[in-house]
Structure 1
Amino acid sequence: MHDPTPTEVLDAVGRLEAEQEMPERMRADVRLLGSLLGQVLRESGSADLYEDVERLRVATIHAYTDPSPEAFDRAARVADSFSVQRADEVARAFTCYFHLVNLAEEHHRVRVLRERDGQPERDPRGTIAGAYAELAAEVGEDAARERLQALRFHPVFTAHPTEARRRAVSTAIRRLSTLVDELGAAPESSAAQQRTTRLMLEEIDTLWRTAPIRAEKPSPTDEVRTVMAVFDDTLFTTVPEIYRRADEAIRGGIDGDQPPLVRPFVRVGTWVGGDRDGNPFVTAKVSRQAAAIASEHVLLGLERAAQRVGRGLTLDASTTPPSDELLALWERLRSADEDAAVEIAKRSPNEPHRRVVLLLSRKIAATRTRDADLAYRDPEHLLADLRIVQASLAQGGAARQAYGQLQQLIWQVETYGFHLAELEVRQHSAVHAKVLAELDAGGARSEQTEEVLEVFRAISFIQERFGPRAAGRYIVSFTQSAEDLANVHRLARYAVGEGGTPPVLDVIPLFETFADLQAAPAILAEIVDHPEFSARLEATGRRLEVMLGYSDSSKDVGPVAANLALYEAQALIAAWAQESGIELTLFHGRGGALGRGGGPANSAILAQPPHSVDGRFKLTEQGEVIFARYGDPDIAMRHVDQVAAAILTASAPSNEERNRTAAEHYADIAEVMETTSRARFFDLVKAPGFAPWFATVTPMEEVGLLALGSRPARRGLSVESLEDLRAIPWVFAWTQARINLAGWFGLGTALESVGDEARLKEAYAQWPLFRTMIDNVAMSLAKADDRIARQYLALGDREDLAQLVMDEMTLTRAWVIRIAGGDGLLANKPVLQRAVKLRSPYVDALSLLQLRALRALRDAPADLPADPEQQRLLLLSVSGVAAGLQNTG
C-alpha cells in the first residue's frame, strides 16, 4: 500500500468539492476561515502541528472519495501514528474547523434569507402570509382570520444535556460571526478589511486556545443563564418583529396605521430549573431562582424598550392632543412619582405621550427592583396603561405612532409578561407514589418527601410574585393511570396543609412507552371526571394539554413502531377530545436528534393526524437545537415563520383530509411495518448480553463523563440493563459510533416485509407521515458510515450482533434510496446532502481518533483506573464529532 500521490490528493479534493456543489460565496467563506485556522495552527508553537493536521485531513478526504479498504486503512494508520498529546491537539483543530464550517453555513443561510427578503416578488410558500392566503381561499376570509388570531406556537426550552459546546465557545463563535458580516461589507483591500481579518485571526486563535469541553458540569442556574442569553440576544426583539412582518404580509403592504390583524402567537416555556425527573440538583430553591432570573431579564428588557419608545414620542400636544384618559393616567402617575414627574415634565414641556411612557418605564423598573410604592401588580395593569397611550395617539391622529414601536412594546408584554418563560415542573410518577405512601402512613417525613412538597410551595410563591402564567404546568412523566395524575393534586393539598390554598395547577400527563401510548385515551377519559381536574377544565374553557414522549417510546420498541404508535395515539386522543368538547393541545417531547423525534418541525406538523393540531403546537427545544434555531435573529425569524405557517396549514380541511385518507389507505402497510420493525428491534435489544455489548461498542459509559448538563445520564443503573438508561445517551452513543441506530433500525426489515416497491413509492408521494419517516431516516443514514461503524462494532466481540446491525443498515439504505429516488441518500434534498458531504471526511478524522482512544480504554486491565490522557482524547473527539454531525442527543 502506498500513500496517495499529490495528483491523487488533488483529484480526491476536486471530486469532494464537485460532489458538495457548494455556492461560491459559501465556498469562499469556508476557504477563508479554514486558511485563517491554518495560520493559527502554524503559529501555535507546537512543531509540525499544521502538517500533522493536513496529513490526517488529506488521508480522510482520499478515503472518503476512494471506497477501497486500502484508502481507509491509510487514514486509520495516520490517526494511530500520533502521540496521545498530538492526537489531542489534532482533535481540537478539527473541532475548531467544524465550528468554523457551521458558522460559514449559518452565515450563508442568513445571507440568502436577507436577499430573499429584499426581493419584490418573494416566494410566499412556507410563510404565515402564504399559509393564510391558502387557508382563506379554502375556508373563507373570516374563518381564516379567526384561525390566524387563535394561532399558538409554544416552544419549551429544556436543559437536557445535548449541547456539547461550552458557552465560552458559543460566545466566541458569535463574535466571529459578527466579524464575518463586517468583512463582507468592507471594501476589498481596504484598511477596514485588514483590521477585520486581524480581529478574525484573534478570535480563531482564542477559539483554538479555549478548552472545548467543560471542566465541571453546569449547575441548573448556569443552564438558566445560558437560555437567558438566547432571550437577550434574539427572542425579545425578534418575536414582535415576526408579528409585524406577518401582519404586513397579510395586509399586502406596509401600512402601519391600523390595529394589527396578528395577535401574539408565541409563548415560551422552560423546563430549565423546573425539570426534576431524575435530576436531584433541581430543587424548589432552584425553581424560585430560575423564575427570578427570568423575570429580571424580561423586566430589564421591557424597561429599556419603554424608555426607547418614550424618548421617541416627541409629539406636541398641539399636533396630537391627548385623550382625557391619558391626562387622567398622567395625574395618577405624577402623584405616585412626583420628583421624577417634575423632571420629566421639564424635559417634555408639551409632550404628554412622552411624559406618560417615560413614567411607565420607571414603574417597570420599580417592578424589577421590588419597589412596592411604584411597582406594577401584574402585566395586565401595564398593558392597560399602554393601551390608554395607544388609544390616545390614534384618537389624536398619530396612528403610525400608535401602531408602530408602541405596538412592538405591547406585543412584548403580551408575549412575555413579567415572567418571560412559563416555568414547567416535571417529576416521575413513581416519586409521587412513594412520597404519598410515606405521607399516608403518617410517620416521619424523609428529605425527599419534604422536597417534593416544597416544590408546590415554590409554585405558589412564583405565581404570587410573577403572575399566574409564570408557573403552574406540572408534567407527570411515565403516566400509567389516572391515579398518577390525581396524585399531584393530593400532594399539593398536603403541601399547603389543612385550610391552605394549593397553587393553580394544570396537570399534564406524559405518555412515553409503547404501552402507555396505547392506554392514553382510556386514562384521559377517566381523569377528566376527577373533581379537581374537572374544575380546572371548566375554569380554562375545557383546555387540556397532553404530552407525548418520542425518546423513550423509540428506545422501547424502535423508531418505526414508535412513530406509528405516536401517530395512532394522537389520532385517538384528538378524536376523544373532539367528542368530549375539549380544546386539546398536544405537547411533543421531541429531541434534537432524529432518534428522539428530531428533524424539520414544519414537515412533522403537516403530517399530524386530523384535529391533533387545530392551530396549536407545543414542543420541546433542547441543546444545540435551541442555538441553531433561535441563536441568530434572521434564522429565528424564518424558523418561527415556517412553523407558524405549518400550524395554520395543518388545520386546513384539505390537509386534514389528506392525512386521514392516507392513514386509512395505507393502514395495511402501517400494520406490517409496526409488527416487523418491532420484532427486528427486539431481536437486537433483547438478545442476551446486549446491554454490556452496547456499552462496549459505543462510548456510552464515557458520555456520562462529559460535563454537558446538570442532569445525570442514568436513573441509577448498571450496564446490565437498558431499562433506566436515558434516551439521550442511548441516541448520543449510537451517533458517536457513526451508526445512528436509534434513528433507523428496523425500517429496512419493515419495508422488505411490505415488499411492494411501487406501492411504497406511491405512499412516499401521498402519505405525509411515511414521507417524513423516510426523509428523516435518509438524513440519519447519510450521517452514518459503514466502514467506521464496523470498527466500533468490532470492539464488542459479538459478531452475531454486529452482523445484525450492519445487515439492517444495508437493507434500510437500499430501500430508502429506492423509495425516495436518485442515486444516493438525500438525492432529493440537495442542501442537506451538501451539508453532510461538506463535513463527513472531517468527522471521519475525529472518529478515527476516537476509535484509537476507545480501543486503548477497552484494552486496559479492568482493575486499573482509566488512562486520563486517553479519556481526555475520547471526550475531545466526542465534542468534535457532535459539532461535525450537529446532532448529539
Structure 2
Amino acid sequence: MADTPTTPDKDAPLREDIRLLGRLLGDTVRDQQGEATFALIERIRQTSVRFRRDEDLDARRELEDTLDALAREQTIQVVRAFSYFSHLANIAEDQHHIRRTRAHLLAGSTPREGSLAHALDSATATLGERAPEALAEFFAGAFVSPVLTAHPTEVQRRSILNCQTIIARLLDERDRIQLTPEEREASEEALRRAVLTLWQTRMLRRTRLSVIDEVNNGLSYFETTFLREVPRLYASLEDRLGSAAAAELPAFLQVGSWIGGDRDGNPFVTAEVLERALSLQAAAALSFYLGELQALGSQLSLALGLVDASDALLALAERSADPSPHRSDEPYRRAIAGMHARLAATWNILLGNPPPSSPIISAEPYHGPAELAEDLDVVHRSLLTNGSAALARGRLRHLRRALQVFGFHLAPIDLRQNADVHERVVAELLATAHPGIDYLALGEDARVELLLAELGTARPLTSPHLQYGEETEGELAIFRAARAAHLRFGPAVIQNCIISKTDNVSDLLELAVLLKEAGLLRPHEGALDVNIVPLLETIDDLRNGPGIMDRLFSLPAYRGLVAARGELQEVMLGYSDSNKDGGFLTSGWELYKAEIGLAETFARHGVRLRLFHGRGGSVGRGGGPSYQAILAQPGGAVQGQIRLTEQGEVIAAKYGNPEVGRRNLEVLVAATLEATLLTSDAPAPDPAFLDTVQELSDAAFAAYRGLVYETEGFEDYFWQSTVISEIAELNIGSRPASRKKGTRIEDLRAIPWVFSWAQCRLMLPGWYGFGTAVRNWLAAHPQDGLERLRRMHREWSFFASLLSNMDMVLAKSDLAIASRYAELVRDVALRDTIFERIRAEHQATVEALLAISGQQELLDGNPLLKRSIRNRFPYLDPLNHVQVELLRRHREAHDDERIRLGLLISINGIAAGLRNSG
C-alpha cells in the first residue's frame, strides 16, 4: 500500500508513517495470503485512489465490477486488509497529533486553543489582578467529568486495542529517539511483528458482547490512560498555577461510567451485573495502587543517618511490623510495606478473595481510601520536612492524586432507567400496599400529591413477605444493590440516578419513592444519597424542561432534597433522541433554548445547575469538537460544572492513546474554565439572530419530519438501504438496537439510527433540512438574508459551531456511494423518490453552507480534517462498495457464516475509518 497525496512539509512524517505501516501490512498480506491476493488488493486500492482523486467514472465502474465479482474468501481478505489499514492510519494520525503538539512546545509557540496554557493565559489577560482569586474560586467549585458509555455500535475488541497500543508505542519511540541503523532495523522488525499479530488477531467477537465484556473494555482505558494521565494533568495544572494554587487543587476532574448501570433498554443490566461491575472496577483501582506502592517502596530506599524522618513516619514504619533486617534503617520502605499489606487486606475484605500476590506481612484492612490517603500524606510531609521535596513530586504525588480521584471504587457508575419503568414499578407497589389505588389512571396533580405523601413517611411500601412482578423485583434489586455498594465502597461509588424520557414532575418523584424503599433517601433525616437527574430527550421534553424544574423546585419536599445535595441539581440533555425526533438544526436550537431556560429557572430558585450533555460521537448525536461545543453554550449554562458522555468508538479514538487521552481531558478542563470565567458574561446574541434561527429551525423541522416520519415507505427505505437490520442481529454490543420489538423509527434507539446512516455514507441526521431552511429564508429575505446569516456565522459561536459540525459531516458523506446502498431497496419507485429527495437536500445544504461560510470547498476552514479525509478515504471507499455486495448476499443467504463475518468486519472497518460514526 503506497504513498498518499502530497501535503505540506510538516506532514511529511505522517506520510512516512502511513507509508511504512501500509508497506508492512502489504508485506503481511503477501506473506500470509499469497501474491495473488496482495495484487488484487493493490489493484483495488489504486483504482479507488484514481476514482476519488480524479472523479474518474471509468475507475468507479472498474472498481464496482472488481468488487462485485469477488469470491467469498477473496471478499473477506479484501475487507480485512482495508479495515486494518483504517486502524493503522488512525494510529499514524494520533501519533502525528502528538508530534505536532510537541513541536509547538519545543518551538515555544503561542499556546494553542484548547490547551490549559491558553486558557490560563486568557484568564490572566482578561481578568488582570482578579485572575488569581477568580481561578481559585473556579477550581474550588469546578466539576468536569467525561462519562464512558457502552452502546450497540461498540466495535473494538480489547485484543485489537492492545495490538494498536504496541504499534503506537513503537512509532512514538521512532519519533522521539535518534536510532542507530541497527536500532532502526530492530524497530521496524518489531513493527512488522506487531502488524502480523494484528493481522492474525480475530477482529470480531464470536459471541454477543455481554455487559461484563463492556465493563472490561472500559477498564482498559483506565489502565492505559486515566489512572496515570489524570494525576499528571493535575500536577501540570498545579505547577502552571504556581502561587495561585496555594494548596493542592480539589479533585474537580473525575471520570464516570454508565457501563454496568445503564438499564434503559438493556435487560441484561441486573443487580448481579452491577455488583460484578463494581467489583471489577475496585479490583482495577486496588491493583494499580498495590503496584504503585511496590514501585514506590523500591524507590524510597532512604536510610536513617543519611536523611531524617518525621515522628509520624517513624511511627508508621514501626506499625508495619516489617520483619526484614535489610530494611531496619529504611523507615520509608518499612512504612510503605505496611501500607501495601493493609491495602492487600482491604482487597480481601472488599472483593472476598486475596490479591494476585499477597504480602508476607499480616495487617488490618483500611476502612476507606481516606485512611490510605492519610498514610501517604505522612510520607509526603516527612519528605518535604527533611529536604526531599523532589522525591515527593514524583510517583508519590501521582499516587496521592490517583487515590483522591479514583478512591477504592475507580469511577462512579450512574444508574439509568426509563421513566415508564419507574412508573409501572411504583404503580405495582402502590396497588399492593393500598388496594384500590390505580396509579396509572391518575392525572399528574393526583400523582404528585400521592407521591409526596409517600415521601413524607419513613414507612416502606414494600414487604419482604410479598412477591412482586419480575420488572418490579429487578428494579428494587438494583436500588438495594446500590445501597449495599454505598456501604461497601462508600457514597462516591454511585452518585447519580438518571431518568430517561422525563416529561413531568411525577417522573422525578417516582424515582425518589424507589430510592426511599432502598434506604438511599431517608425522609426523617432529610438525607438523599444520590442525585436525581432528569433526562430531557425529545423536542417537546426540551421545551417543557424549564417548566418541569420550576414546578419541582416549588415543592418544599423536593426543595429539601436539593438542599440535602448541596443546593445543586443536575439535568441531562439528550442530543441523540432530540436529533432523531426533530433533526439536526432543530435539536441544536432547542437544546440551546432549553439551557437558557434552565439557567434562568435555577437562578430564580437559588439552585446551582449542572448540565450533563448526552453527546454521541457523531454530529447527528451531538458530537463534534468538545472545545467548540462547550464554548458555544449560552451564557450561564456551564457555571464551572459539566458532565458529558463519551461513547463507542470515540472512546478508543480519544483515550486509547495515553497522550491523546490527556490532551482530550485537558481540552475539557480548558473549555469549562473559559466558558465559566471568560464567556459567561458575554453579551447575548443579537435578538435578530435568535429570530432567524427560530425561522430556520421551523423550516428544517418540517423538512426533516416530512421525510422521516411523514413519507409513506420511508421506514422500509431505511431498513433496506442501511445496515440497521444487521446491527440488530450482530454481536456489536450488549444492548438491543430498539427499545421495543418492531421496525418503527420512533422505537429505534438513536445510536444505531445514526450509526446506520454513517455506514452508508449519507450521515443524514447531521444535516438534513438545513438546505431547505436556508432556501426558504433567503426567499423570504432576498435583500439582506444572506448577509445576516454570514454575520451570524462570524459573530455567534453557537451558529458557527453548528455550521462547523455540519461541514465535517457533509465532507464525510458521499452521494455516489450512498446511491449504491439505495439500490438495495426493492421497491424501485420508492427508492428513486426518496433518494432523489435526499440528493436534492444534500446539494442544497452544501450550497447553503458554502455561501454562508465563504468557503470554496467543504472543510476549507479545517485543513487538518481535510488532509485526514484525503489520506484515508481512498482506503475506506472500497469497504463501502464491498459492504453493499455483502449486504445483498447476506440477505439472500442468512446462514452463510463467512458472508456474515465479512459483513461484520466491514462494519468495523468503516466505523474505524470514519472515527466518529456512532
Query: Offset at 1:529?
Result: 4.8
State how 1:546-561 maps to structure 2 within 5 Å.
546-561=571-586
Name the stretch that deviates more: 511-520 or 538-547.
Answer: 538-547
Query: Offset at 1:865?
Result: 4.5
2:290 pairs, out of 281, 286, 303, with 303
Aligned to 1:147: 138
Aligned to 2:906: 877
- Mapped partners of 1:577, 1:166: distance in 2: 43
Aligned to 1:724: 747
Instruction: Tell me the SS of whatever aligns to 1:23.
Output: helix
Residues 318 and 578 (structure 1), Cα distance of their counterparts in 2 relative to 1, 3 Å cut: farther
Residue type matched to 2:99 in 1? R
Instruction: Tell me the SS of whatever aligns to 1:619.
Output: strand
Match status 1:690 vs 2:714? yes
Residues 130 and 317 (structure 1), Cα distance of their counterparts in 2 relative to 1, 3 Å cut: farther
- Mapped partners of 1:610, 1:849: distance in 2: 48
- Mapped partners of 1:328, 1:528: distance in 2: 52
State how 1:465-504 maps to structure 2 within 5 Å.
465-495=488-518, 504=529
State how 1:527-606 maps to structure 2 within 5 Å.
527-530=552-555, 533-606=558-631
Aligned to 2:865: 832
Name the stretch that deviates more: 158-167 or 54-63.
Answer: 158-167
Residues 224 and 663 (structure 1), Cα distance of their counterparts in 2 relative to 1, 3 Å cut: farther
Aligned to 1:3: none
Q: Which runs of 5+ in 1 are unaligned?
A: 1-9
Q: Deviations over 1:170-204 (max 9, x none)?
A: 21111222232344467667333333323322222
Residues 46 and 398 (structure 1), Cα distance of their counterparts in 2 relative to 1, 3 Å cut: closer
Query: Offset at 1:788?
Result: 1.1
1:752 pairs, out of 756, 763, 775, with 775
Aligned to 2:396: 406
- Mapped partners of 1:581, 1:781: distance in 2: 43
Name the stretch that deviates more: 550-559 or 799-808.
Answer: 799-808
Residues 298 and 857 (structure 1), Cα distance of their counterparts in 2 relative to 1, 3 Å cut: closer
Q: Deviations over 1:510-537 (max 9, x none)?
A: 1100011111112112233556643332
Q: How many residues align?
A: 858
Aligned to 1:76: 64
Residue type matched to 2:81 in 1? A
Aligned to 2:250: 263
Match status 1:425 vs 2:454? no
Residue type matched to 2:795 in 1? Q
State how 1:460-859 maps to structure 2 within 5 Å.
460-495=483-518, 504-530=529-555, 533-653=558-678, 655-658=679-682, 660-662=683-685, 664-686=687-709, 687-719=711-743, 721-755=744-778, 756-796=785-825, 797=828, 798=830, 799-857=832-890
- Mapped partners of 2:805, 2:872: distance in 1: 18
Residues 857 and 637 (structure 1), Cα distance of their counterparts in 2 relative to 1, 3 Å cut: closer
The answer to whether the 8 A contact 1:295-1:420 is kept is: yes
Aligned to 1:279: 266
Query: Offset at 1:19?
Result: 6.8
Instruction: Tell me the SS of whatever aligns to 1:716.
Output: coil
Query: Offset at 1:268?
Result: 1.3
Q: Deviations over 1:481-539 (max 9, x none)?
A: 11111111222334469999998221111110001111111211223355664333222
Q: Percent identity?
A: 34
Query: Offset at 1:784?
Result: 0.6
Residue type matched to 1:57 in 2? R
Aligned to 2:184: 193
The answer to whether the 8 A contact 2:148-2:256 is kept is: yes
Name the stretch that deviates more: 379-388 or 274-283.
Answer: 379-388
Residues 467 and 348 (structure 1), Cα distance of their counterparts in 2 relative to 1, 3 Å cut: same
Aligned to 1:102: 90
Residue type matched to 1:213 in 2? L
When normalised by structure 2's length, the TM-score is 0.89
Residues 581 and 871 (structure 1), Cα distance of their counterparts in 2 relative to 1, 3 Å cut: same
Query: Offset at 1:703?
Result: 1.5
Over the residues paired in the alignment, what is the CA RMSD in angstroms?
2.6
The answer to whether the 8 A contact 1:475-1:508 is kept is: yes
Instruction: Tell me the SS of whatever aligns to 2:262.
Output: coil
Aligned to 1:390: 380
Instruction: Tell me the SS of whatever aligns to 2:372.
Output: helix
- Mapped partners of 2:554, 2:913: distance in 1: 50
Aligned to 1:438: 428
Instruction: Tell me the SS of whatever aligns to 1:871.
Output: helix
Q: Deviations over 1:5-41 (max 9, x none)?
A: xxxxx9xx99x71479881111111111111111111
Aligned to 1:887: 916
1:452 pairs, out of 469, 475, 479, with 475
Q: Deviations over 1:225-274 (max 9, x none)?
A: 11111111221111111111122223399xxxx96554332111111111
Aligned to 1:357: 336
- Mapped partners of 1:107, 1:128: distance in 2: 21
Q: Deviations over 1:349-391 (max 9, x none)?
A: 4444443333223222221122896111112222233333333
Match status 1:210 vs 2:243? no
- Mapped partners of 1:389, 1:47: distance in 2: 62
The answer to whether the 8 A contact 2:655-2:661 is kept is: yes
Q: Which runs of 5+ in 2 are unaligned?
A: 351-361, 433-465, 779-784
Residue type matched to 1:554 in 2? N
Aligned to 1:86: 74
Instruction: Tell me the SS of whatever aligns to 1:645.
Output: helix
Residue type matched to 1:784 in 2? S
Name the stretch that deviates more: 532-541 or 224-233.
Answer: 532-541
- Mapped partners of 1:497, 1:647: distance in 2: 31
The answer to whether the 8 A contact 1:588-1:619 is kept is: yes
- Mapped partners of 2:75, 2:652: distance in 1: 29
- Mapped partners of 1:425, 1:663: distance in 2: 40
- Mapped partners of 2:116, 2:606: distance in 1: 28
- Mapped partners of 1:316, 1:866: distance in 2: 70
When normalised by structure 1's length, the TM-score is 0.92
The answer to whether the 8 A contact 1:587-1:619 is kept is: yes
Residue type matched to 1:576 in 2? T
Residues 152 and 724 (structure 1), Cα distance of their counterparts in 2 relative to 1, 3 Å cut: same
- Mapped partners of 1:40, 1:314: distance in 2: 48
Instruction: Tell me the SS of whatever aligns to 2:570.
Output: strand
The answer to whether the 8 A contact 2:264-2:416 is kept is: yes
Aligned to 1:61: 49
Q: Deviations over 1:295-322 (max 9, x none)?
A: 1111121222233334433445566544
Instruction: Tell me the SS of whatever aligns to 2:729.
Output: coil
Aligned to 1:115: 103
Q: Deviations over 1:25-66 (max 9, x none)?
A: 111111111111111111124451011111211111111123
Name the stretch that deviates more: 320-329 or 83-92.
Answer: 320-329
- Mapped partners of 1:551, 1:649: distance in 2: 26
Residues 735 and 22 (structure 1), Cα distance of their counterparts in 2 relative to 1, 3 Å cut: farther
Residue type matched to 1:217 in 2? R
The answer to whether the 8 A contact 2:79-2:879 is kept is: yes
Query: Offset at 1:132?
Result: 2.2
Residues 758 and 187 (structure 1), Cα distance of their counterparts in 2 relative to 1, 3 Å cut: same
Residues 840 and 123 (structure 1), Cα distance of their counterparts in 2 relative to 1, 3 Å cut: same
Aligned to 1:4: none
Residue type matched to 2:237 in 1? A
Aligned to 2:459: none
Aligned to 2:349: 370
Instruction: Tell me the SS of whatever aligns to 1:825.
Output: coil
The answer to whether the 8 A contact 1:129-1:250 is kept is: no
